[in-house]
Amino acid sequence: MINIGVIGSGGIISKHIRHLEDRTDAGITALCDVDPDRIQATKETYFEDKTVNGYATPEDMYNSETLEAVIITTPHTLHYGQAVQALEADCHVFLEKPMTTSSKDALQLAAKAEEQGKVVAVGYNTASRPVFQYLREQIRNKTWGSLEMVTGFLSQNWMTMTTGLWRQDPALSGGGQAYDSGAHILNSLLWSVESEPETVFAFTDNKGCAVDINSVMGIRFANGVLANITISGNCVSDGGHMAFIFEQALVEIDGWGGSWIKVHAKDQSETPEIDTPEVFPIINFVETIQGKTQVAAGTKNGINHSLLMDGIYASARTGKPVNPAALQG
């Protein structure tokens, strides 16, 4: 039995609880949150018939519980410190996206996980979606020749939805819509292309807020793929469309939810039959700990995402294209 502790008992934890509730080989046994009312509400909603202890600090939880793993769903800038603390407590770590809010922290966290011999997984949706697993396999196999370009957009009424919340406080969020909901489409890009962002040129617009609301970026990857992504946080309609352009095909896909895919090749369009079952990120995490599979989105994904975000914000600040890796020096 894998005993799992939770750091951050907000709304996002509910999906992980639901995905774990039928497992007999893993389960949540402790909750940690700065708000005791939130802990109590989570216990009453999901653990009425189970003994799940609540704690005000991670230190208290680690000192009182025997845990093999933790789920971290706190504000973004807290992820790095809490993940390192969990690794030092001999726990595997599942982090909600983003893994960290700087590439320096991402690299250090990856090194710490390797040193401790622990699994670190990031809860990006893309890696669990059968349509993206299918797409990445075709990219690897060069089914339609080489991938040359990717374009996409994500839109959401994020500015209004997050007014007054920690997501618009840069000290806690590390950034705005690009680092929050935008992480979904950016990871869809990064997870599929499987290459480090080499050059980034970006513009952002805060719309009078403390963090970015709208952003647009051009990216050249180390493998030569070119991409441009637009992220809107001030739109009345949610959207997340992407197009992957190959030598011999155009593939359109739901870049946010991964719910559909359409392939246009050789004068015909089709929706491929994909029978791969979806494995939720938290289940992949558990089964990776058990040695049954490999982590779907791990520290490498987190590093590339943080590199890209460092590049986006540095370029927007300076008005120049940047090499994200060079920012480390």
Model confidence pLDDT, tens digit, residues 192-203: 999 999 999 999
State the pTM of this model: 0.95
Contacts of 137 (CB under 8 A, 6+ apart): none
* Cα–Cα nearest to 101, from 313, 321, 325, 281: 313
Q: Which of 175, 152, 173 is nearest to 310 (CA)?
A: 175
**pLDDT value, residue 329:** 57
Q: What is the dihedral of CA 32, 104, 327, 299, to 10 degrees?
A: -90
**pLDDT number for residue 267:** 82
pLDDT for residue 102: 96
Q: 164: helix, coil or strand?
A: coil
For the domain made up of 2-122, give the CATH fold. Rossmann fold (3.40.50)
User: Cα–Cα distances in Å, from 232 out to 72, 90, 158, 304, 315?
Assistant: 27, 40, 8, 22, 18
Helix (H, G, I), strand (E, B) or coil at 248: coil
pLDDT at residue 328, as a whole number: 76
Could you read off the pLDDT of 251-290 as tens digits, one per residue?
A: 999 999 999 999 999 888 999 999 999 999 999 999 999 9
pLDDT at position 98, please? 97
Q: Is the CB of residue 43 less than 8 Å from the CB of residue 18?
A: no
* pLDDT < 50 positions in the chain: none
Q: Do domains 2-122 and 126-276+299-328 have the same CATH topology?
A: no
What own/partner pairs with CB < 8 Å and gap ≥ 24 does 278-281 have? 278/128, 278/129, 278/130, 279/128, 280/19, 280/128, 281/94, 281/121, 281/122, 281/123, 281/124, 281/125, 281/127, 281/128
Number of Cα atoms under 13 Å in the Cβ half of residue 191: 28
pLDDT attached to residue 49: 75
Domain borders along the chain are 2-122, 126-276+299-328
Q: Are 102 and 306 in contact (CB under 8 A)?
A: yes
Residues in CB range of 118: below 8 A, 6 or more apart: 87, 90, 91, 92, 93
**CATH classification (class only), 126-276+299-328:** alpha beta
d(CA 25, CA 86): 21
- Label residue 266 exposed, middle or buried (CB < 10 Å: 0-12, 13-18, 19+): exposed
- In Å, how far from its chain's centre is CA 104? 17
